[in-house]
Amino acid sequence: MRWCSPDHEIYPSIADVTGDFVYARLQRGEDTIPTAYPPKQLGRLGRPPAEAWAKGGEPQGLPRVDKAL
């Protein structure tokens, strides 16, 4: 697995690249919002990282265990 982003209160989000695909799971959405997340937050969590991954890169500013990555 390349990376799993649980976006969860208990489980940490770690962005270290370790494989060839990305699995992002957003779990803190609100039922009262049609998209589960406010647009601003969804943009921060979704679009920039997804675009970087789609190009084979890594998004900046995400938590990592190995600071050298």
pLDDT beyond 70 at 27: yes
Residue 30's domain comprises: 3-54
Domain membership flag for residue 8: yes
Domain membership flag for residue 26: yes
Read off the pLDDT of residues 31-45 as tens digits, 9 standing for 90 and up. 898 888 888 887 776
Read off the pLDDT of residues 4-13 as tens digits, 9 standing for 90 and up. 566 677 777 7
Domain membership flag for residue 47: yes
- Distance from the first to the final alpha carbon of the chain: 16
Angle at 13 between CA 22 and CA 24, to 5 degrees: 30
Domain membership flag for residue 60: no
On whether the CB atoms of residues 16 and 65 are closer than 8 A, the answer is yes
Total domains in the fold of the chain: 1
